[in-house]
Structure 1
Amino acid sequence: MTIFDMTDLADIEALVATVQHSQQNELAEEFIALFREDAIWTTAHGRRLTGRDEIASFTRQVLPGAAKEATATYEVAHVLFIRPDVAAVKIRQRPVRPDGTPLPDQNEGSPLYILSKEDEGWRIAAGQNTIVL
Protein backbone atom coordinates (compact mmCIF):
# COMPACT_ATOMS: atom_id res chain seq x y z
CA MET A 1 0.00 0.00 0.00
CA THR A 2 1.37 3.38 -1.00
CA ILE A 3 1.36 6.00 1.73
CA PHE A 4 0.43 9.54 0.75
CA ASP A 5 -0.64 12.72 2.46
CA MET A 6 -4.39 13.38 2.16
CA THR A 7 -3.58 16.93 1.08
CA ASP A 8 -2.00 15.39 -2.03
CA LEU A 9 -5.44 14.35 -3.27
CA ALA A 10 -6.75 17.87 -2.75
CA ASP A 11 -3.69 19.31 -4.50
CA ILE A 12 -4.14 16.96 -7.45
CA GLU A 13 -7.82 17.87 -7.73
CA ALA A 14 -6.79 21.54 -7.63
CA LEU A 15 -4.32 20.94 -10.48
CA VAL A 16 -7.06 19.32 -12.58
CA ALA A 17 -9.39 22.22 -11.71
CA THR A 18 -6.67 24.56 -12.98
CA VAL A 19 -6.49 22.59 -16.23
CA GLN A 20 -10.24 23.13 -16.61
CA HIS A 21 -10.03 26.82 -15.67
CA SER A 22 -7.16 27.49 -18.07
CA GLN A 23 -8.88 25.68 -20.93
CA GLN A 24 -12.30 27.25 -20.40
CA ASN A 25 -10.81 30.73 -20.06
CA GLU A 26 -8.15 30.27 -22.77
CA LEU A 27 -5.31 31.04 -20.34
CA ALA A 28 -2.32 29.56 -22.11
CA GLU A 29 0.28 30.64 -19.55
CA GLU A 30 -1.74 29.19 -16.66
CA PHE A 31 -1.95 25.86 -18.51
CA ILE A 32 1.72 25.83 -19.49
CA ALA A 33 2.80 26.45 -15.87
CA LEU A 34 1.30 23.08 -14.88
CA PHE A 35 4.00 21.14 -16.75
CA ARG A 36 7.46 20.04 -15.78
CA GLU A 37 10.21 21.44 -17.99
CA ASP A 38 10.81 17.97 -19.50
CA ALA A 39 7.14 16.93 -19.82
CA ILE A 40 5.70 14.83 -22.62
CA TRP A 41 2.16 15.58 -23.81
CA THR A 42 0.11 13.78 -26.46
CA THR A 43 -2.95 15.57 -27.78
CA ALA A 44 -6.31 13.87 -28.35
CA HIS A 45 -5.43 13.70 -32.04
CA GLY A 46 -2.12 11.94 -31.39
CA ARG A 47 0.35 14.79 -31.72
CA ARG A 48 3.31 14.28 -29.38
CA LEU A 49 4.81 17.36 -27.76
CA THR A 50 8.10 17.03 -25.88
CA GLY A 51 9.26 19.59 -23.33
CA ARG A 52 7.49 22.61 -21.88
CA ASP A 53 8.75 24.87 -24.69
CA GLU A 54 7.10 22.72 -27.38
CA ILE A 55 3.94 22.34 -25.30
CA ALA A 56 3.91 26.12 -24.80
CA SER A 57 4.33 26.87 -28.51
CA PHE A 58 1.47 24.52 -29.44
CA THR A 59 -0.78 25.79 -26.62
CA ARG A 60 -0.27 29.43 -27.55
CA GLN A 61 -1.36 28.61 -31.12
CA VAL A 62 -4.45 26.53 -30.39
CA LEU A 63 -5.86 27.77 -27.08
CA PRO A 64 -6.86 31.32 -28.00
CA GLY A 65 -10.31 31.03 -29.56
CA ALA A 66 -10.68 27.33 -28.69
CA ALA A 67 -13.45 27.86 -26.12
CA LYS A 68 -15.57 30.12 -28.30
CA GLU A 69 -18.03 27.37 -29.25
CA ALA A 70 -16.98 24.41 -27.10
CA THR A 71 -14.90 23.62 -24.06
CA ALA A 72 -14.85 20.82 -21.47
CA THR A 73 -15.21 19.94 -17.84
CA TYR A 74 -12.48 17.90 -16.15
CA GLU A 75 -13.18 15.49 -13.31
CA VAL A 76 -10.69 13.32 -11.44
CA ALA A 77 -11.96 9.78 -11.97
CA HIS A 78 -9.14 7.83 -10.30
CA VAL A 79 -5.75 8.45 -8.68
CA LEU A 80 -3.08 5.77 -8.36
CA PHE A 81 -0.11 6.78 -6.22
CA ILE A 82 2.79 4.94 -7.81
CA ARG A 83 5.07 6.45 -5.16
CA PRO A 84 4.31 9.24 -2.67
CA ASP A 85 5.69 11.73 -5.21
CA VAL A 86 4.33 10.16 -8.44
CA ALA A 87 0.67 9.70 -9.32
CA ALA A 88 -1.26 8.40 -12.32
CA VAL A 89 -4.47 10.40 -12.63
CA LYS A 90 -7.37 9.34 -14.84
CA ILE A 91 -9.62 12.20 -15.94
CA ARG A 92 -13.19 12.30 -17.25
CA GLN A 93 -13.35 15.10 -19.80
CA ARG A 94 -16.85 16.11 -20.92
CA PRO A 95 -17.43 18.49 -23.83
CA VAL A 96 -19.66 21.44 -23.00
CA ARG A 97 -20.73 24.74 -24.48
CA PRO A 98 -19.22 27.90 -22.96
CA ASP A 99 -22.36 28.23 -20.80
CA GLY A 100 -21.74 24.74 -19.35
CA THR A 101 -24.49 22.84 -21.15
CA PRO A 102 -23.42 19.42 -22.46
CA LEU A 103 -22.53 18.85 -26.10
CA PRO A 104 -24.19 15.47 -26.74
CA ASP A 105 -22.86 15.21 -30.30
CA GLN A 106 -19.19 15.16 -29.19
CA ASN A 107 -17.25 12.32 -27.62
CA GLU A 108 -15.87 12.51 -24.11
CA GLY A 109 -12.15 12.51 -23.47
CA SER A 110 -10.29 10.14 -21.18
CA PRO A 111 -6.93 11.78 -20.40
CA LEU A 112 -4.27 10.13 -18.27
CA TYR A 113 -1.84 12.41 -16.46
CA ILE A 114 1.35 11.25 -14.79
CA LEU A 115 2.09 13.80 -12.10
CA SER A 116 5.26 14.33 -10.10
CA LYS A 117 5.49 16.20 -6.83
CA GLU A 118 8.04 18.96 -7.25
CA ASP A 119 9.23 21.70 -4.88
CA GLU A 120 6.52 24.01 -6.28
CA GLY A 121 3.80 21.33 -6.04
CA TRP A 122 2.33 18.70 -8.35
CA ARG A 123 3.23 19.09 -12.04
CA ILE A 124 2.32 17.18 -15.18
CA ALA A 125 5.24 14.98 -16.22
CA ALA A 126 3.36 13.18 -18.98
CA GLY A 127 -0.12 13.24 -20.41
CA GLN A 128 -2.11 11.34 -22.99
CA ASN A 129 -5.42 12.92 -24.01
CA THR A 130 -7.58 10.24 -25.62
CA ILE A 131 -11.00 10.62 -27.24
CA VAL A 132 -13.52 7.97 -26.18
CA LEU A 133 -15.17 6.40 -29.23
Structure 2
Amino acid sequence: MDTPFTPRNWYYVFEESQGQAFSSETQSYVPSDTVPQERLTKLARGTTMNDLITLFREQSVPPYHRIEKSIILSRLGDAKSELAFAIATVGQRLRWNAPDKPWVNADDPEMKAIIIAIGEDPTTVLAPA
Protein backbone atom coordinates (compact mmCIF):
# COMPACT_ATOMS: atom_id res chain seq x y z
CA MET A 1 0.00 0.00 0.00
CA ASP A 2 1.35 3.44 -0.95
CA THR A 3 1.97 5.99 1.77
CA PRO A 4 0.00 9.18 1.03
CA PHE A 5 2.11 12.28 0.46
CA THR A 6 2.16 14.39 3.61
CA PRO A 7 4.60 17.29 3.15
CA ARG A 8 4.78 17.98 6.90
CA ASN A 9 6.35 14.59 7.56
CA TRP A 10 8.39 13.78 4.46
CA TYR A 11 12.02 13.47 3.46
CA TYR A 12 13.71 15.03 0.45
CA VAL A 13 17.04 14.16 -1.12
CA PHE A 14 18.88 16.80 -3.10
CA GLU A 15 21.21 15.58 -5.83
CA GLU A 16 24.25 16.80 -3.89
CA SER A 17 23.06 15.64 -0.42
CA GLN A 18 25.54 12.75 -0.24
CA GLY A 19 23.67 10.33 1.99
CA GLN A 20 21.55 12.96 3.71
CA ALA A 21 17.81 13.57 3.46
CA PHE A 22 16.09 16.81 4.48
CA SER A 23 13.27 16.20 6.97
CA SER A 24 10.32 18.59 6.68
CA GLU A 25 9.26 17.62 10.18
CA THR A 26 12.54 18.48 11.94
CA GLN A 27 13.77 21.02 9.34
CA SER A 28 17.17 19.36 9.38
CA TYR A 29 19.21 16.77 7.53
CA VAL A 30 19.19 13.16 8.66
CA PRO A 31 21.07 10.12 7.30
CA SER A 32 19.05 8.91 4.30
CA ASP A 33 19.55 5.26 5.28
CA THR A 34 17.46 5.90 8.44
CA VAL A 35 14.47 7.22 6.48
CA PRO A 36 11.42 5.10 5.62
CA GLN A 37 11.83 4.69 1.85
CA GLU A 38 8.10 5.12 1.24
CA ARG A 39 8.39 8.69 2.60
CA LEU A 40 11.48 9.65 0.60
CA THR A 41 11.46 11.85 -2.50
CA LYS A 42 14.51 12.35 -4.68
CA LEU A 43 14.37 15.89 -5.98
CA ALA A 44 15.04 16.77 -9.60
CA ARG A 45 18.51 17.92 -10.60
CA GLY A 46 18.92 21.62 -9.94
CA THR A 47 16.24 21.77 -7.24
CA THR A 48 17.30 24.18 -4.50
CA MET A 49 16.30 24.71 -0.90
CA ASN A 50 14.40 27.81 -2.06
CA ASP A 51 12.35 25.58 -4.37
CA LEU A 52 11.58 23.30 -1.44
CA ILE A 53 10.60 26.27 0.73
CA THR A 54 8.20 27.37 -2.02
CA LEU A 55 6.60 23.91 -1.89
CA PHE A 56 6.41 24.11 1.90
CA ARG A 57 4.70 27.53 1.69
CA GLU A 58 2.17 26.20 -0.83
CA GLN A 59 1.44 23.20 1.41
CA SER A 60 1.45 25.27 4.64
CA VAL A 61 4.33 23.34 6.22
CA PRO A 62 5.73 25.04 9.35
CA PRO A 63 7.89 27.01 9.78
CA TYR A 64 7.41 28.14 6.17
CA HIS A 65 3.61 28.36 6.30
CA ARG A 66 1.71 31.55 5.67
CA ILE A 67 -0.66 33.03 8.18
CA GLU A 68 -3.52 35.41 7.54
CA LYS A 69 -2.97 38.93 8.86
CA SER A 70 -6.44 38.92 10.39
CA ILE A 71 -5.46 35.92 12.54
CA ILE A 72 -2.32 37.71 13.72
CA LEU A 73 -4.37 40.78 14.66
CA SER A 74 -6.89 38.70 16.60
CA ARG A 75 -4.11 36.91 18.47
CA LEU A 76 -2.40 40.18 19.38
CA GLY A 77 -5.51 42.13 20.36
CA ASP A 78 -6.04 45.86 19.86
CA ALA A 79 -3.40 47.24 22.24
CA LYS A 80 -0.55 45.01 21.03
CA SER A 81 -1.56 45.52 17.38
CA GLU A 82 -1.42 49.31 17.83
CA LEU A 83 1.98 48.99 19.50
CA ALA A 84 3.26 46.85 16.62
CA PHE A 85 2.12 49.43 14.06
CA ALA A 86 3.73 52.20 16.10
CA ILE A 87 7.17 50.59 16.06
CA ALA A 88 7.02 49.36 12.45
CA THR A 89 8.92 51.27 9.79
CA VAL A 90 7.11 52.94 6.90
CA GLY A 91 8.20 50.11 4.59
CA GLN A 92 6.94 47.47 7.00
CA ARG A 93 3.57 49.24 7.31
CA LEU A 94 3.27 49.48 3.52
CA ARG A 95 3.96 45.75 3.16
CA TRP A 96 1.45 44.97 5.91
CA ASN A 97 -1.24 47.03 4.17
CA ALA A 98 -0.56 45.59 0.70
CA PRO A 99 -3.97 44.46 -0.58
CA ASP A 100 -2.52 41.69 -2.75
CA LYS A 101 -1.08 39.82 0.24
CA PRO A 102 -3.57 39.08 3.03
CA TRP A 103 -0.97 36.86 4.72
CA VAL A 104 2.62 36.95 5.97
CA ASN A 105 5.27 34.26 5.87
CA ALA A 106 5.61 32.81 9.36
CA ASP A 107 9.40 32.76 9.05
CA ASP A 108 9.66 36.49 8.16
CA PRO A 109 12.46 37.86 10.37
CA GLU A 110 11.05 41.41 10.46
CA MET A 111 7.64 40.15 11.56
CA LYS A 112 9.25 38.01 14.26
CA ALA A 113 11.34 40.97 15.49
CA ILE A 114 8.28 43.21 15.81
CA ILE A 115 6.36 40.54 17.70
CA ILE A 116 9.28 40.06 20.10
CA ALA A 117 9.62 43.85 20.51
CA ILE A 118 6.01 44.12 21.71
CA GLY A 119 6.58 41.34 24.24
CA GLU A 120 4.83 38.48 22.48
CA ASP A 121 6.03 35.03 21.41
CA PRO A 122 6.35 34.72 17.60
CA THR A 123 5.95 30.95 17.79
CA THR A 124 2.50 31.39 19.31
CA VAL A 125 1.39 34.42 17.29
CA LEU A 126 2.57 32.94 13.97
CA ALA A 127 1.47 29.35 14.65
CA PRO A 128 -0.57 27.65 11.92
CA ALA A 129 -4.28 28.42 12.17
Asked whether the two chains share a fold, i.e. TM above 0.5, the reply is no
- TM bin, normalised by shorter chain, reads under 0.3
Q: Which one has a larger percent strand, Structure 1 or Structure 2?
A: 1
| TM-score normalised by L of structure 2 | 0.23
| TM-score normalised by L of structure 1 | 0.23
Greater relative CO (CA pairs within 8 A, separation 6+): 1
Q: Which one has a larger percent helix, Structure 1 or Structure 2?
A: 2
